[in-house]
């Protein structure tokens, strides 16, 4: 094996091992291919000459600590056909989020904010995280941005409770900052099964943070207005209503994105104002 290739392989295996060990510390399956990893790492390390790449020793300060209130990742299974059963399982998930300490955001929350709306909605809106009002009331999108979202939902022909609304993270980031990548990853233990249980036909990602956490933000060009996919569900990324409050001239662009959603769902697109 080429020494450079072997060195690179050794580094990748070390990273994989560290990741799996962290998963195990969080209650995940751990190292199901542990022996194979060890053997591969040993071979790669031997082949990499004259000196194998150094892998930094883990920083004890960042080592995973015991987290008694960290729920295990919920296995994603097909949603129950029975709507009330879906509601029960979503309610169980919300209960787990209420006591979750999997990331630092739990430290300053008043309460976790799980979702609102129809547990078998055909459309789900995903924002980034609760704000001050949401943290106080325990419901997502209830401040001015939420009121604007409600008007957008009404313009699409839905009642407020026809749709399902949630966020990437369930606890309020301090000063309403954008959730950090590690916080989004930690909270995917809720978002992923939550979306699997609702099983919508379409997801609308509100803002870049939601688009990135759903894996549909493109690295180049505009990140909004083009279809992506999350676990097989079509996702339309568009601007967050809070941004529209600051930049109302962008509302027309968002409406164009929402018209694509309505077309996908077979809903009639209302004519422009002024035309009956
Ligand atoms: S944001 Fe999510 S992962 Fe972090 S503590 Fe709250 S519920 Fe847990």
Three-state SS annotation for 139-196? CCCCCHHHHHHHHHHHHCCCCHHHCEEEECCCCCCHHHCCCCHHHHHHHHHHHHHHHH
Number of the ligand 1 atom closest to the C-alpha atom of 183: 4
At 250-261, the pLDDT tens digits run 999 999 999 999
Question: Is the pLDDT score of 30 beyond 90?
Answer: no
Taking CA atoms only, the protein residue closest to ligand 1 atom 7 is 97
Question: Is the pLDDT score of 212 beyond 50?
Answer: yes
Mutate-to-test residue for ligand 1 from 99, 109, 187, highest number of ligand atoms within 8 A of CB: 187
> Which residues face 127 on adjacent strands?
167
Domain ranges of the chain: 3-51, 83-264
pLDDT of residue 136: 96
- Residue 174 burial by Cβ neighbours in a 10 Å radius (0-12, 13-18, 19+): exposed
Number of the ligand 1 atom closest to the C-alpha atom of 189: 3
Distance 105 CA to ligand 1 centre (A): 6
Domain 83-264 classification at class level: alpha beta
Distance 134 CA to ligand 1 centre (A): 15
> Which of 131-140, 211-220, 222-231 is predicted least confidently?
211-220
At 221-235, the pLDDT tens digits run 789 999 999 999 999
At 127, which helix (H) or strand (E)? Answer: strand 123-127
Q: Which residues line ligand 1 (CB under 6 A)?
A: 97, 100-103, 105-106, 112, 169-171, 183, 186-187, 190
pLDDT of residue 22: 39
> Which of 71-80, 90-99, 104-113, 175-184 is predicted least confidently?
71-80
Mutate-to-test residue for ligand 1 from 94, 102, 111, highest number of ligand atoms within 8 A of CB: 102
pLDDT of residue 239: 98
CA distances 117 to 63, 69, 121, 158, 199, Å, are 38, 26, 8, 11, 13
pLDDT of residue 270: 78
Taking CA atoms only, the protein residue closest to ligand 1 atom 3 is 187
Number of the ligand 1 atom closest to the C-alpha atom of 106: 5
At 195-209, the pLDDT tens digits run 999 999 999 999 999
pLDDT of residue 179: 97
pLDDT of residue 82: 80
């Amino acid at each position: 094996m080429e020494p450079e290739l072997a060195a690179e392989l050794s580094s990748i295996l070390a990273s994989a091992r560290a990741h799996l060990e962290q998963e195990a510390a969080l209650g995940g399956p751990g190292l199901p291919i542990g022996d194979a990893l060890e053997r591969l790492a040993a071979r790669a390390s031997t082949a990499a000459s004259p000196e194998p790449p150094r892998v930094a020793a883990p920083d004890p300060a960042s080592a995973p600590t015991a987290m008694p209130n960290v729920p295990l990742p919920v296995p994603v299974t097909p949603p129950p056909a029975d709507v009330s059963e879906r509601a029960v399982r979503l309610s169980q998930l919300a209960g787990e989020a209420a006591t979750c300490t999997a990331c630092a955001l739990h430290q300053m929350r008043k309460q976790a904010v799980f979702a609102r709306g129809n547990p078998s909605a055909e459309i789900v809106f995903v924002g980034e995280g609760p704000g001050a009002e949401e943290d106080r009331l325990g419901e997502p999108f209830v401040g001015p941005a939420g009121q604007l979202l409600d008007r957008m939902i009404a313009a699409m022909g839905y009642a407020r409770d026809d749709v399902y609304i949630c966020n990437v993270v369930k606890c309020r980031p301090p000063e309403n900052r954008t959730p950090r990548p590690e916080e989004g990853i930690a909270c995917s233990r809720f978002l992923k099964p939550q979306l699997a249980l609702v099983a919508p036909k379409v997801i609308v990602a509100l803002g870049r943070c939601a688009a990135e956490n759903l894996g549909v933000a493109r690295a180049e060009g505009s990140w909004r207005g083009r279809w992506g996919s999350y676990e097989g569900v079509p996702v339309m990324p568009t601007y967050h209503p809070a941004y529209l409050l600051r930049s109302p001239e962008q509302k027309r662009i968002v409406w164009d994105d929402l018209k694509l959603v309505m077309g996908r769902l077979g809903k009639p697109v209302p004519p422009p104002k002024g035309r009956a």
